[in-house]
Structure 1
Amino acid sequence: MSSPAWGAASSSKVIEQFSRHVQQGFTAFDMADHYGDAELVFGRFASMYPHRDAIFTATKYCVFQKMTVSREAVQANIAERCRRLQTDKIDLLQFHWQFYQHREYLDALRLLTEDARVEMVGLCNFDTKHLLDVVEAGIQVLTNQVQFSLVDSRPILEMAVACETHNIKLLTYGTLCGGFLADKWLGRSEPDIYDGSITPSQRKYFEMIRSWGGWGLFQELLRVLRIIASKHRVSISNVATRWVLDFPYVGAVIVGARMGISDHTDENLASFGWSLNQSDLDMIEEVLKRSRRCEIFKDMGDCGSEYRT
């Protein structure tokens, strides 16, 4: 769940779609402390749902400015998350720290792992070096939420080894590039990012597509994905999702939900129950090797670096 900047609907429509997600088996929800009213909306739904124990709640504790880390400050943030989510415990609290040079993030993480209200602690947009710093400090984190897609495969280069070595799973966002990795964009001309129909998310990922190889190569990728999708009787989005999910160090793909506005639960279900074979992977690789995927790592830095420049 994201902020209202991606669109908003009435409470009744949001609650209705929440129910539909859960009934279809999508029972894990991810949000953040700074995503507008996402936690409040989720808390409202979860408090009314008769089987709340079946719902997995993941949110974030994001520090964007220099702060003095204290037990009181960390406990106050956890208390606020619980209040907004209407819960006594948070299944997964993911921690983001903006300025690595201020190493108090290790103190904050230790305090998070000691709080009984937090079942599991994860990271958000940590690069490999600082993820390893956390591990080497003896702090147990189970996940790291990062951008990962056919267009941004930076986790493959360094993060993968660290995650497999220390049994940390990636929770990936941007896997559908804000909706660009979809059938509706196959054969389409390059979009005007200032068009009113383009979402803030799509403006962000369109720049990634440009950096990766441009709209022409992206169309080649979509054509290959359509061939593979037809073979498996699924959509381009399903193939893009499956490609990321099949990496052993990926725990889950986070698909953005514009609750009450667009509903892709049936389509998302089609990402399960099959896998890409070697022939499929080879076809995709033929396109990817002509992209600037390695240059993106050099230009942007490791996972999460784009938020710290």
Structure 2
Amino acid sequence: MEPAHETFQLGPFTAPRLWTGLWQLSSNAWGAASAPKIRQAMGRHVNRGYTAFGEHGTCVVSHTGDETVQWPEWQADHYGSAEILFGQFRASLETPGAVLGATKYCVFKSIKISRETVEAAVRQSMQRMRCERIDLLQFHWQDYELKSDYTQAVEILNQLKAEGLIAAIGLCNFDSIRTDEICSQFPGVIASTQVQFSLIDTRPLYGMADVCTKHGVKLLTYGTLCGGFLADKWIGEPEPDPYSGSLNPSQRKYLDMIKAWGTWALFQDLLRVLRDVGYRHGGLSVSNLSVRWVLDHPAVGAVIIGARLGCSEYSDDNSKVFGVSLTDEDRECIDKVLKRSNGGRLLQTIGDCGAEYR
């Protein structure tokens, strides 16, 4: 019998601990499928218990002047049609409320924050997702110098939450200092924060996890499989050429992360250790063990696994992470490799969570 999906509390929701990430709908570089095939794939995921989806929504790309400038001129969905496809799918369900949808409000350049601009972004996502309330609205802000503006945006989002337009508010790619600052200024308002976290990128363990524990915030992690590099198929493979055209955008990004973490030879050592641990647990995959390792950290609520819906799916394999208990011996074997890496120094070489986006 397949083990039951694990859950955690996220604001008013009892949410699954594995989410389906929809960022790969942003470009044909990950592979393309028709809208009907994508919606069918969403249905297969829900039938297997993957009832939470993370898409990427409204992005403020530029606006520095007159507040009378209206939404269509300066905001856009920067990750393709994920919100629209998800909205179409959920609207087709007999019980749409059984599926949780998270989206984002991302500000990449300086804007003049107002109730009008923030509410316009939220309502645009609501329209695209065909919902009367956004389940989880995750907020990203690029320019930390504008502290009064990003705290004002959180205050407005909290007002919209009180008015019923948002069920839960999260952050995305904020660092530990600003996460602590926002949670202290708005106690009990932030339910989650989305950050990159994996065996390769352990930066959340050096500050962010403590901040989350302090404020009762849950980590939603992405990049946990390093764009698919943390998988059995890479065992024994030579280091790929990032300019060969054979890698998708995620793989190019996470290959850089692996190089910052250590050498390709050391990465191969990690893959082999994970394979050996998997053998001891009845043949679990490298990916299974990589996800389980992250889920076992108390501050983590869920791991978001990107899916090329309609192209390739691994829901059967991913479900094997439930019911797995890593032993002290397992962790010791993994830690021996991690201690040989630069993982503990990434905070200095790259910066805290989200620094690579600033």
Q: Which residue of 1 aligns with 2:265?
A: 216
Q: Which residue of 2 aligns with 1:136?
A: 184
Range that drifts further, 150-159 or 271-280:
271-280
The alpha carbon displacement at 1:12 in A equals 1.9
Q: Which residue of 1 aligns with 2:338?
A: 288
Normalized against structure 1, the TM-score is what? 0.98
Q: Per the alignment, in what secondary structure is the counterpart of residue 336 of structure 2? A: helix
Q: Which residue of 2 aligns with 1:186?
A: 235
Q: How many residues align?
A: 308
How high is the sequence identity, in percent, across the aligned residues?
A: 50
Q: Which residue of 2 aligns with 1:101?
A: 145
Q: Which residue of 2 aligns with 1:110?
A: 155
Paired letter, 1:263: E
Structure 1 residue corresponding to 2:326, chosen from 254, 272, 276: 276
The alpha carbon displacement at 1:58 in A equals 0.4
Q: Which residue of 1 aligns with 2:7?
A: none
CA distance in 1, matches of 2:179, 2:35: 38
Q: Which residue of 1 aligns with 2:314?
A: 264
Paired letter, 1:254: I
Paired letter, 2:234: W
Range that drifts further, 214-223 or 40-49:
40-49
Q: Which residue of 2 aligns with 1:249?
A: 299
Paired letter, 1:20: R
Normalized against structure 2, the TM-score is what? 0.85
1:234-285 Cα distance to aligned partner (Å, 9 max, x none): 1110000000000000000000011101110101111111121111100000
Paired letter, 1:87: C
CA distance in 2, matches of 1:253, 1:232: 21
CA distance in 2, matches of 1:294, 1:181: 19
Q: Per the alignment, in what secondary structure is the counterpart of residue 58 of structure 1? A: strand
1:32-83 Cα distance to aligned partner (Å, 9 max, x none): 1121111111111111121211101100000001011111111111100100
Q: Per the alignment, in what secondary structure is the counterpart of residue 102 of structure 2? A: strand
CA distance in 1, matches of 2:165, 2:332: 46
Q: Which residue of 1 aligns with 2:99?
A: 55
Q: Per the alignment, in what secondary structure is the counterpart of residue 112 of structure 2? A: coil
CA distance in 1, matches of 2:247, 2:86: 26
CA distance in 2, matches of 1:138, 1:266: 40
CA distance in 1, matches of 2:183, 2:315: 36
Q: Which residue of 1 aligns with 2:136?
A: 92
Q: Which residue of 2 aligns with 1:71?
A: 115
The alpha carbon displacement at 1:21 in A equals 0.1
Q: Which residue of 2 aligns with 1:22?
A: 46
1:68-117 Cα distance to aligned partner (Å, 9 max, x none): 11111111111001001011111100000000100110010111111121
CA distance in 1, matches of 2:32, 2:169: 29
1:221-241 Cα distance to aligned partner (Å, 9 max, x none): 000000011111211100000
Paired letter, 1:109: V
Q: Per the alignment, in what secondary structure is the counterpart of residue 167 of structure 2? A: strand
The alpha carbon displacement at 1:7 in A equals 2.4
The alpha carbon displacement at 1:294 in A equals 1.8
Please, which runs of 5 or more residues in structure 1 have no aligned partner? none
CA distance in 2, matches of 1:142, 1:135: 9
